Structure 1
Amino acid sequence: MSSEIQRKNHRIHPCNTERKTELLHFLIAQYPEKKILVATANNTQSILLTKTTNVTVVSDGEMSPSEKNQYDILISYDLPDKAIIYMTRFAHAREMALILLGSEDQKHLYAIETLLGRTIIQESIAGFEPSFGIAVDNQHKAEAKARRAAREEEEALKKERWAKKEKEKPKFLGKDANGKPIFEKKSRERNHYIDGTPRKDDEKATQTPYKSKPVFFGEKSNSSNRDTSKKDEQKQFSKPKPEGDKKPYGDKKPFGEKKPFGEKKPYGDKKPYGDKKAFGDKKPYGEKKPYDGKKSFDKPAPKADTTPARAPRRINVKSLKPKDATE
């Protein structure tokens, strides 16, 4: 590994695979005076470049160890399968090492960073932004950061407007003789309850500060200084309309004489029910059975015979005690 290359000069440029050659031409044009080595793991014929004196295209199998530190810039068109092969490429550059990272090369990046002992900075070039990987994540983070900044700015403006509104809020000074509140910046020079026009001088001289306030239907007023002309006008609309003379109902028609109900018809004599029918002779119940067959509660019931049909089998177990020595 070449120790001359600083970490800021070792970069990854993620790009979609179909635009790798276009990005390679763009990077070569940025360093026309530098000696550039383009390395690939595949056949060099797949890289179409115009013939230039400062650019050399080689594959990993064609790279010779004797050319270490012979090039200013290393551009890896793709990544090899083994990380040690990339370290051989890395040793050929003195100033800068760049990687064109496609979506299929991401699986080899972790082993290379592990062997290097550090991560490689990823930076997407404007116009060649990929549709995968960390560059897309960084773009999403940048968009989220911009949205968060706009939201915070809007909240700050709201707080500023609210503080300004609170600052401009009129200060309460007390109450006047009529018990009405008085505020600092409210002079009541305008008819705020009607149309907002300024009051005239003659109105100010003859009217109280609260005269312009309208009186609504059903509202009671205890102030004797108010002008009651408008109140009277409003009352005339609240009076019910005269219903006019009511039409006479005229003489009520007589209901007429009630018809006599007449004499009630006699119910007549009730019919005799006659003699009740005999139900006939009841059948004799016969002689009752004696109760001798009932069980007596004094005598217990005989127990059932539980003796087995066959005698239980007996097994003789010999004693396991040791015999006496005398025997």
Structure 2
Amino acid sequence: MPLNTITIKPNNHRIYQCPNEKKTELLNKLINESDSEDIIVACSRDAKKIQEGLDNKEIRVLEDKEFVQDKDVKCAYLISYDMPIKDIVYIARVAKATQKAVMLLDESEQKELHAIETLLGRAIKQERIAGFEYEEKAKPKEPARKKLSKDEIKEVAKKRYEKSTQEKPKFDAKPKYDAKSKFDKPKKDDKFDKKKKAPKAKTTGKVIKVKAKKK
């Protein structure tokens, strides 16, 4: 079986959100809840310091380099105390577990999780345990609004009313578009229009008939 083959079910592989300063406390809580299981704590560094903080001194705490050197090491329950230096190393950690694996993740380590999930091919379920949540960042407070007296409120309302009732400036109306105007332009003489005829002269007055006299 390849070293980086994960055999545990996805539902048994998860992340617990936990600030760095509370990790030792949460680690002891998880160990005490599963004291009958074969547990290994994995870390990238400071294995001795983590070991000293455990209530159960029989629990093994191994750094990543020890996982790489000892290919035969296995455990039922793997607890990752921190984020490994490389994403492939985390896969090698979880491959040592036969039943379940969890990781304690500080908020600052969240950005490094994407590479691991990409390599794994799925997202790892995250959970919060009461008392170990991330601290909520305080939202900036809005400046307190000055409270107005009744007289000041009346004065503000009066000014708004006067402003709204002021006569709006009148603007000169734009000249209306005259559709006929564009047809009133003088036409150019067409010198080349041979068919064009001069208008007939109009005749005025009565018509006089003249009869020739017979000789």
Question: Aligning the two structures, in what range does the TM-score lie when normalised by the shorter sequence?
Answer: 0.5 to 0.7
Alpha-carbon distance in 2 for matches of 1:117, 1:132: 30
Alpha-carbon distance in 2 for matches of 1:29, 1:10: 19
Q: 1:100 — aligned with what?
A: 104
Q: 1:10 — aligned with what?
A: 13
Q: 2:47 — aligned with what?
A: 44
Q: Is 1:113 paired with 2:117?
A: yes
Q: Deviations along 1:1-34, whole A, 9 cap, x unmatched?
A: 4443111110100011110100000000111111
Q: Is 1:67 paired with 2:81?
A: no
Distance apart, 1:51 and its partner CA: 4.2
Alpha-carbon distance in 2 for matches of 1:122, 1:116: 15
Q: Is 1:82 paired with 2:91?
A: no
Gapped regions of structure 2 (runs ≥ 5): 138-215
**Contact 1:103-1:132 within 8 A present in 2 as well:** no
**Contact 1:12-1:98 within 8 A present in 2 as well:** yes
Alpha-carbon distance in 2 for matches of 1:26, 1:44: 18
**Contact 1:9-1:96 within 8 A present in 2 as well:** yes
2:29 paired residue among 10, 22, 26: 26
Partner SS, residue 96 of structure 1? strand
Say if 1:132 and 1:36 are closer, same or farther in 2 by CA, change over 3 A. farther
Alpha-carbon distance in 2 for matches of 1:82, 1:99: 15
Distance apart, 1:129 and its partner CA: 1.6
Q: Once the two structures are aligned, what percentage of the paired residues are identical?
A: 43
Q: 1:317 — aligned with what?
A: none
- TM-score if structure 2 supplies the norm length? 0.57
Alpha-carbon distance in 2 for matches of 1:51, 1:101: 22
Note the 1:1-327 alignment, pairs <5 A.
1-47=4-50, 48-53=53-58, 55-63=59-67, 64-68=69-73, 70-131=74-135
Count of residue pairs the alignment pairs up: 131
- TM-score if structure 1 supplies the norm length? 0.38
Distance apart, 1:119 and its partner CA: 0.1
Query: More relative contact order in 1 or in 2 (CA 8 Å, sep 6+)?
Result: 2
Alpha-carbon distance in 2 for matches of 1:107, 1:84: 16
Pair member with larger Rg? 1
Partner SS, residue 86 of structure 1? helix
Alpha-carbon distance in 2 for matches of 1:111, 1:71: 25
Gapped regions of structure 1 (runs ≥ 5): 134-327
Say if 1:79 and 1:123 are closer, same or farther in 2 by CA, change over 3 A. same
Q: 2:167 — aligned with what?
A: none
Distance apart, 1:65 and its partner CA: 4.0
Partner SS, residue 57 of structure 1? strand
Alpha-carbon distance in 1 for matches of 2:122, 2:136: 22
